[in-house]
């Protein structure tokens, strides 16, 4: 189905979401039509924020908003769906559009398998009526489902469209770029060179894939790295847990700006605990590059300032390899919780692969290595 027709049939004039590669057609359509526009389209920090923002839109307008997201965001919406939207509480109608990664029977990465299995069931459990849209779904079918859904929405309940791979088509081309020069994979190579044999916890998306391939290219073991393949936004908390319990060992966290924003409260907890062996490196491209390049708000915020007010004793931003290398070396000598923001361009290698070891192997190798430290 053409994405434009999908949007017309749904008939809402406010969309908020976290981008997803499977919903790229919708994301690009919204960016092309509205850009980021507070009245019509806001990319929020996490799917729970989107749900609450949508609720506010409804309170102020009486109209029905749309929240779009990858199914991995279901965990983030459960609290506001159950305790805010649900008709036993405030009965706020929202239309969810959910990209279905890990659909049973379709090959996908480990972090999507279980989430894919429970996607529709979780919606049912949350009392959200759902309809699956595949490449074969017609506009007539969607229109008649929407008529049915309007009644549900009018009764103060929520509905969801679960979007299969390839279901939405004819996305406009949107170019996502910024003025930064460094590319993420090169930045990761520099971090790997500087970190030596220190453990690294890396964030969700292409950063972890690039770290994996850097180890392969360097003929190094993967035991140094914990790849946070799912659980976006949580790698810094994982790194905190490791750092506190391995106080004599320097630990690196390679984070992304979208991930940092998603659960930014973790920075306050890290800053309050101040583990002097944790080096938090945030690669900031101002984008959700992994899923297509749609913007985050991170190019507008002062991440160094955030780190400092959260209690990080040292925080700095770099925009060249020369400064990056200098700061990585200083961080190693400083022995103090540090944040290095690295300004980064938007883009990645076309032929970037995926980890060839399993998640369980990754965990075991990492734990075995940690136990030697």
Ligand X SMILES: Cc1ncc(C[n+]2csc(CCOP(=O)(O)OP(=O)(O)O)c2C)c(N)n1
Residues in touch with ligand X (CB under 6 A)? 18-20, 70, 72-73, 76, 184, 203-207, 232, 256-259, 285, 287-291, 296
Contacts of 301 (CB under 8 A, 6+ apart): none
Q: By three-state DSSP, how is residue 316 classified?
A: strand
Q: Which of residues 17 and 93 has its CB atom nearest to ligand X in the complex?
A: 17
Per the CB < 8 A criterion, the answer to whether 130 and 95 are in contact is no
Could you tell me the smallest distance in angstroms from the CB atom of residue 333 to ligand X?
28
Q: Which of residues 17 and 137 has its CB atom nearest to ligand X in the complex?
A: 17
Q: Which of residues 223 and 288 has its CB atom nearest to ligand X in the complex?
A: 288
Strand partners, 43: 17
Q: Which of residues 45 and 153 has its CB atom nearest to ligand X in the complex?
A: 45
Helix (H) or strand (E) holding 132: strand 128-133
Could you tell me the smallest distance in angstroms from the CB atom of residue 291 to ligand X?
5
What 8-state DSSP symbol labels residue 291?
A: G
Could you tell me the smallest distance in angstroms from the CB atom of residue 371 to ligand X?
29
Which residue of this chain has its Cβ atom nearest to ligand X in the complex? Answer: 256
Strand partners, 316: 340
Could you tell me the smallest distance in angstroms from the CB atom of residue 227 to ligand X?
12
Could you tell me the smallest distance in angstroms from the CB atom of residue 151 to ligand X?
30
Q: Name the nearest CA neighbour of 17 among 63, 55, 70, 82.
A: 70
Q: Which of residues 176 and 321 has its CB atom nearest to ligand X in the complex?
A: 176
CA angle 132, 133, 134 (to 5 degrees): 120
Spatial separation of the C-alpha atoms in residues 18 and 14, rounded to whole Å: 14
């Amino acid at each position: 189905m053409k994405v434009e027709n999908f949007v017309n049939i749904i008939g809402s004039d406010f969309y908020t979401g976290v981008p997803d590669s499977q919903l790229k057609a919708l994301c690009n359509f919204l960016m092309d039509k509205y850009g980021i526009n507070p009245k019509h389209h806001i990319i929020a920090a996490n799917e729970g924020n989107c749900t609450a923002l949508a609720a506010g839109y409804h309170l102020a307008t009486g109209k029905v908003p749309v929240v779009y997201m990858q199914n991995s965001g279901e965990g983030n919406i459960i609290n506001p769906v159950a305790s805010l939207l649900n008709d036993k509480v405030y009965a706020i109608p929202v239309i969810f559009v959910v990209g279905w990664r890990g659909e049973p029977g379709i090959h996908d990465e480990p972090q999507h398998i279980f989430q894919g299995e429970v996607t529709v069931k979780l919606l049912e459990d949350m009392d959200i009526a759902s309809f699956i849209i595949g490449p074969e779904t017609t506009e007539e079918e969607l229109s008649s489902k929407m008529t049915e859904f309007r009644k549900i929405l009018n009764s103060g309940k929520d509905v969801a469209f679960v979007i299969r791979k390839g279901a939405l088509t004819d996305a406009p081309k949107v170019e996502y770029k910024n003025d930064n020069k460094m590319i993420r994979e090169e930045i990761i190579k520099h971090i790997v060179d500087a970190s030596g044999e220190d453990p690294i916890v890396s964030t969700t998306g292409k950063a972890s894939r690039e770290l994996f391939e850097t180890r392969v290219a360097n003929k190094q073991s993967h035991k140094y790295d914990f790849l946070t393949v799912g659980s976006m936004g949580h790698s810094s908390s994982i790194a905190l847990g490791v750092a506190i319990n391995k106080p004599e060992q320097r630990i690196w966290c390679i984070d992304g700006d979208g991930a940092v924003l998603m659960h930014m409260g973790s920075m306050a907890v890290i800053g309050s605990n101040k583990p002097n062996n944790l080096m938090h490196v945030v690669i900031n491209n101002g984008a959700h590059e992994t899923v297509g390049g749609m913007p985050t708000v991170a190019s507008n915020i002062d991440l160094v300032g955030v780190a400092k007010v959260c209690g990080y004793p040292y925080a700095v931003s770099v925009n060249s390899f020369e400064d990056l290398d200098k700061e990585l070396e200083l961080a190693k000598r400083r022995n103090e919780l540090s944040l290095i923001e690295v300004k980064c361009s938007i883009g990645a290698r076309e032929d970037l692969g995926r980890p060839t070891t399993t998640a369980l192997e990754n965990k075991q190798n990492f734990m075995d290595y940690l136990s030697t430290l």
